[in-house]
Amino acid sequence: MDSFNKLPAELRQGILIQTFCRRTISQLIHASPVMLQQYIASKEYITRALLASELDDSMVQDAMAIILFPPQPTYGDLTTQGLHHCQSWAAQQLQNPLLQPLTEQNRPLINKLGKLHGQLLFFVEDYLTKATAVLPCREYICLSELSTISNQLTFQGRPVSNRFDAANLTGLERKRLLRAFLRYQLRCSIFQGREHLVKTYFNKELHQYGDQRFQPSDQEAIRCVHTYLKSLYGAIFAQCSDAWLPEVDSGSTSSPISGLLYPDSFWVNPDAYASDMCWRRKIPDASSLASLGFDPVKTFLRSATAGKHGRDDLKKWFVDDCPERHSKGDPHWMISDRRLTGHNSGHEEEEDCQKSPGMYQRLHLRIADTFESHREIYRQRAWVFFDDSRFYPSSGVKQHFPTADDLEKEQFDVALRNEEWVLNLADARARHRSQEWHD
DSSP secondary structure of 37-88? HHHHHHHHHHHHHHHHHH--HHHHHHHHHHHTPPP--SSSSPPHHHHHHHHH
Banded model confidence at residue 245, pLDDT cuts 50, 70, 90:
very high
156 confidence band (pLDDT: 50, 70, 90): very high
Residue 284 has pLDDT above 70, yes or no: no
User: What is the band of 147 on the pLDDT scale with cuts at 50, 70, 90?
Assistant: confident
**Average pLDDT of the chain, as a whole number:** 85
| Domain map (residue ranges) of the chain | 1-54, 115-437
Tell me which of 173 and 35 has the higher pLDDT: 173
Q: How high is the pLDDT of residue 243?
A: 95
pLDDT, mean of residues 254-270:
80
Supply the pLDDT for residue 309: 95
Which pLDDT score, from 0 to 100, does residue 344 have? Answer: 52
pLDDT digits (tens, 9 = 90+) for 321-369: 887 765 555 565 565 544 443 445 555 566 677 788 999 999 999 998 8
Distance CA 106, CA 104 (A): 6
Task: Report pLDDT for 217.
Answer: 92
The larger pLDDT score, comparing residue 82 to residue 352, is at 82
Q: Is the pLDDT of residue 257 over 70?
A: no
**Candidate from 171-185, 250-264, 405-419 with smallest mean pLDDT:** 250-264
d(CA 189, CA 223): 16
Position 148 scores a pLDDT of 62
pLDDT digits (tens, 9 = 90+) for 87-138: 999 999 999 999 988 888 888 999 999 999 999 999 999 999 999 999 899 9
Q: Is 70 exceeded by the pLDDT of residue 247?
A: yes
The answer on pLDDT for 399 being more than 90 is no
Between 351 and 3, whose confidence is greater? 3
424 vs 335 pLDDT, higher one = 424
Strand partners of residue 152: 162
Q: For residue range 12-34, what is the model confidence (pLDDT) as tens digits? A: 888 888 876 777 788 888 888 88
Per this entry, what is the length of the chain?
439
What percent of the chain clears pLDDT 70, i.e. is strictly above it?
85
Strand residue runs (E) in 291-393:
none
Residue 249: pLDDT above 80?
no
Q: pLDDT band at 204, cuts 50/70/90?
A: confident
Which residues, including other chains, have CB under 8 Å from residue 236's CB and lie 6 or more apart? 143, 297, 300, 301, 304, 314
For residue 143, what are the contacts with CB-CB under 8 A and spacing of at least 6? 126, 153, 154, 155, 232, 235, 236, 239, 301, 304, 305
What pLDDT, on the 0 to 100 scale, is given for residue 113?
96
Dihedral sign for Cα atoms in the order 381, 385, 387, 390:
negative
Residues 6+ apart with CB under 8 A from 27: 151
Summarize the confidence of residues 230-258 as an average pLDDT.
Answer: 80
Instruction: Round to whole Å and give the CA distance between 165 and 122.
Output: 10
Rounding to the nearest 10 degrees, give the CA dihedral for residues 14, 15, 16, 21. Answer: 120
Q: DSSP letter for 388, please.
A: S
In the predicted model, is pLDDT for residue 428 greater than 80? yes
State mean pLDDT over 411-424. 76
- Percent of the chain past pLDDT 90, that is, above it, reads 51
Q: Which of 28, 50, 221, 248 is nearest to 134 (CA)?
A: 248
| pLDDT for position 308 | 94
What's the whole-number mean pLDDT along residues 211-224? 91
Mean of pLDDT values over 416-422: 70
pLDDT at 101: 81
> Residue 38: how many CA atoms within 13 Å on its side-chain side?
26
Identify the pLDDT of residue 339: 44
Enter the DSSP assignment of 306.
Answer: S
User: What mean pLDDT comes out for the span 59-83?
Assistant: 86
Contact 90, 209 (CB under 8 A): no
> Is the pLDDT score of 67 beyond 60?
yes
* pLDDT confidence bin for 198, thresholds 50/70/90: low
Q: Which of 134, 157, 129 is nearest to 145 (CA)?
A: 157
Measured distance CA(256)–CA(249) in Å, rounded: 10
Q: Tell me what pLDDT residue 72 has.
A: 76
